[in-house]
Structure 1
Amino acid sequence: MKSNTLFFILSFVFTLGMKQAAAQPEVLNGPQIEFEKDSHDYGTIENGANGDCVFTFKNTGNAPLILGNVKGSCSCTVPSWPTEPILPGKTGEITVHYNTNNAGSINKSVTITSNAVNEAVKVVRIKGDVLPAKETTMESVPAVTN
Structure 2
Amino acid sequence: MMKKFILSLFASMLLTTALWAQTQNGSATGNTADAKVKFVKESIDFGKTQLNKPVTVDFEFTNITKEPILVEAARASCGCTTPNWTKEPILPGKKGKVTATYSANGVGQQSKTIWVKFKGVDQDKELHLTGTVEN
Q: TM-score, normalised by structure 2?
A: 0.69
Q: Which amino acid aligns with 1:99?
A: S
Contact 1:33–1:116 (Cα < 8 Å) also in 2: no
In structure 2, the residue matched to 1:52 is: 56
Aligned to 1:77: 81
Which structure: greater strand fraction? 2
Q: What is the Cα deviation at residue 48 of structure 1?
A: 2.9
Looking at structure 1, the residues matched to 79 and 105 of structure 2 have their Cα atoms a distance apart, in angstroms, of: 13
Distance 2:70 2:89 in 1: 5
Provide the residue aligned with 1:13 in structure 2.
Answer: none
Counterpart code for 1:127: T
User: What SS does the aligned partner of 1:58 have?
Assistant: strand
- CA separation in 1, counterparts of 2:29 and 2:90? 20
Query: What is the letter of the counterpart of residue 114 of structure 1?
Result: F
Q: Deviations over 1:41-72 (max 9, x none)?
A: 01222223341001000100011111111001
Residue 36 of structure 1, aligned match among 36, 40, 63: 40
1:109 aligns with 2:109: no
Partner of 1:128: 131
- The alpha carbon displacement at 1:27 in A equals 9.4
Matching residue's letter, 1:55: F
What's the Cα RMSD here? Answer: 2.3
Aligned equivalents of 1:115 and 1:60: distance in 2?
15
The alignment of Structure 1 onto Structure 2 pairs a total of residues equal to 105
Q: Distance in 2 between matches of 1:78 and 1:115?
A: 20
Q: How does 1:3-42 map to 2 (within 5 A)?
A: 32-42=36-46
What secondary structure, in the 3-state scheme, does the structure 2 residue paired with 1:109 have? strand
| Structure with max Cα Rg | 1
Instruction: State TM-score, norm by structure 1.
Output: 0.64
Structure 1 runs (4+) greater than 3 angstroms displaced? 26-29
Structure 2, gaps ≥5 residues long: 1-27
**In the alignment, structure 1 residue 95 sits paired with structure 2 residue 99:** yes
Q: Is the 8 A contact 1:47 1:103 kept in 2?
A: yes
1:142 corresponds to which residue? none
